[in-house]
Structure formats: C-alpha cells, structure tokens
Amino acid sequence: MAVGAVTADQQASRKQVQDFLDRVRKPVREWAAGIKSEWFGRPDKELKDWIEYGRWWNEVKDTRWYQNQLATLDKEIKYAQEELEVGKGLEDVPELRAYLKALRFVRGHILTTERNADISSRVLAGRAEEIKPFMGGGMNDRSKSG
C-alpha cells in the first residue's frame, strides 16, 4: 500500500464522522444561537448587576475563607458520593441525595456567578453603547432599604 493511501476502513470511518457532523450541526447551532440570544437580549442594567456580583466574588476569591469553602464543598460532595456508592444503610439514601444536591447547588451557584459576570461583560463590551462605571443601584445598593 502506498504512503498516504486511504483504506476502506478509514473511508468508512470518515463517512461515519461526516454523517454525524451533518446530523448534529444544525441542532448545535440552534442551541448555541439560543444561548447567545438569551444573553444578548438581557437589559444592560441586569448585565451590569451580574458584573458587579462577579466583582464581589473576585474580591474574596484569593482569601483563605473562599478557598476553604470550596475545598470543604468538594470534600463533602466526594464524601456524599462515596456514601451513596457504598449504600450502607438504605434509610440514609434520601437524606444523602438531598445533601449532595444541596452541595452541588451551592457549588454551581458559585461557578455560575463567576461565568455570568464574564459573559455579561463580553456582551456589554459588544454593544454600541459605551459602558459607564457601575455606580450602585444594583444588587448591593442598600441606601434604599430600611
């Protein structure tokens, strides 16, 4: 066989890959467009609030407290997963599942907050309107509360 010659197996494999790509290309593009339009359709104030919220997280990210919280969450998630795998007592399974779900919720909230701030800043940067520094009136504006 000559160098660079394609075997029948390679041709069949390439055809399968191309068929797969042809089949998923449109659904993936529609999915991505939906996400993009969901973010691009948000009002500037909401996006600025997400950016401000992300800044709060960035202020505490390098602290021992934050790192300890994430490490503890990861340890507890691992513990709950291992306990569910072992399944010592069936009476504890619903509580362990609820505990694991709550831990994952908190961990997801932290990660989502960081991502939302980044996405929001990119969306706002792409808009024609100049971004002015955020000066309150958002989630942290406590001057209006009692």
List, in sequence order, the alpha helices (H) in 3-92.
8-40, 44-60, 64-86
pTM beyond 0.75: the answer is no
CB-count burial class (<10 Å; 0-12, 13-18, 19+) for 103: buried
**Alpha carbon separation from 140 to 21, 34, 47, 53, 129 (Å, rounded):** 46, 30, 14, 8, 24
pLDDT at 131: 46
pLDDT at 73: 92
Q: What is the pLDDT of residues 85-122, one digit of tens each?
A: 877 666 778 888 899 999 999 988 888 877 777 777 77
Residue 47 structure tokens: 């996006």
Q: What is the pLDDT of residues 20-56, one digit of tens each?
A: 888 888 888 777 766 655 666 677 777 788 888 888 8
pLDDT at 137 over 60: no
Residues sharing a CB contact under 8 Å with residue 116, sequence separation 6 or more, in sequence order: 50, 53, 54
pLDDT band (50, 70, 90) for residue 124: confident
